């Protein structure tokens, strides 16, 4: 979360302890809070307690980073309000079953590039995915750039932000959903696996891939064969290939 591409862009920051507290109390979805390293005092301690109680992603940063965002009196705290409202995956799954639908879920493990995330959301919406699950920390910011790249899909498809991605994937599996991990370490070519029934596709970052914890939970490990010299696909392209393969009718 330290590289430039993760810096929230296109969204108006809220700065100052009181102002950010008011945003939290008003029920705003906070993308993340930047806090000056070494910040102390009773006011800050009460504020930080509230941030942790609401499971809001936070990051301690040098004051120079805060000053680059605003020259106004930020009191060592700047928050970015999310451009969307986050949903609860544990409410979505029972509702889908009650409506007689087979859940089709997408989990993104460590996808940090904002434009890739937006492109993935656009494809997911077109493919009929019911929800996208992302980690609270270590994922792309859901900001105006992401929404623009998604062609507005992020306003249409529920996004669920969770603190423990592997726990959530395990919950999905226990809910009768087949976990499909797209990985170069997969045993099956992507077009040979059985994706019928309720399903969840897990996509990892291009450099690190899917975490071992989640790979261990997966029912299917699918790989997309690569014929050229470059040994990895862009994650948004790979996601599109997998999503539409999973929509095919089961082979007889």
Contact present, 1 and 109 (Cβ < 8 Å): no
Q: What percent of the chain has pLDDT over 90?
A: 72
Return the SS3 of 174.
Answer: helix
Higher pLDDT, 159 or 250: 159
Amino acid 11: pLDDT? 62
Q: Give 123-141 pLDDT, tens digit per residue.
A: 999 999 999 999 988 888 8
Q: Which fold has domain 89-246?
A: Alpha/beta knot (3.40.1280)
Query: Domain 4-81 belongs to what architecture?
Result: 2-Layer Sandwich (3.30)
Name the most confidently modeled range: 1-5, 109-113, 138-142.
109-113
- For the chain, the structural domain boundaries read 4-81, 89-246
Average pLDDT, the chain: 90
**Mean pLDDT value of segment 218-238:** 92
Higher pLDDT, 9 or 133: 133
Of 4, 1, 11, 236, which Cα lies nearest the Cα of 142?
Answer: 11
| Separation of alpha carbons 160 and 24, rounded Å | 18
| Separation of alpha carbons 182 and 189, rounded Å | 10
pTM of the model: 0.84
């Amino acid at each position: 979360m330290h590289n430039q591409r993760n810096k929230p862009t296109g969204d108006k920051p809220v700065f100052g302890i009181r102002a950010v507290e008011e945003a939290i109390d008003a029920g705003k979805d906070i993308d993340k809070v930047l806090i000056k390293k070494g910040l102390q005092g009773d006011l800050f301690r009460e504020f930080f307690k509230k941030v942790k109680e609401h499971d809001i992603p936070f990051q301690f940063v040098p004051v120079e980073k805060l000053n680059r965002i605003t020259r106004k009196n930020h009191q060592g705290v700047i928050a970015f309000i999310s451009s969307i409202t986050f949903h609860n995956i544990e409410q979505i799954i029972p509702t889908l079953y009650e409506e007689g639908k087979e859940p089709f879920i997408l989990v993104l493990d460590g996808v940090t590039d904002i434009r890739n995330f937006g492109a993935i959301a656009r494809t997911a919406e077109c493919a009929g995915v019911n929800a996208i699950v992302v980690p609270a920390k270590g994922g792309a910011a859901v900001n105006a750039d992401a929404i623009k790249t998604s062609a507005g899909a992020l306003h249409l498809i529920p996004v669920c932000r969770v603190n423990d991605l592997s726990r959530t994937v395990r919950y999905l599996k226990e809910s009768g959903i087949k976990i499909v991990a797209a990985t170069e370490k997969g045993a099956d070519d992507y077009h040979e696996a059985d994706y019928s029934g309720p399903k969840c596709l897990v996509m990892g970052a291009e450099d690190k891939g899917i975490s071992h914890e989640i790979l261990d939970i997966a029912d299917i490990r699918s790989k997309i064969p690569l014929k050229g010299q470059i040994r990895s696909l862009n994650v948004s392209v790979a996601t599109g290939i997998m999503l539409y393969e999973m929509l095919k009718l089961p082979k007889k």
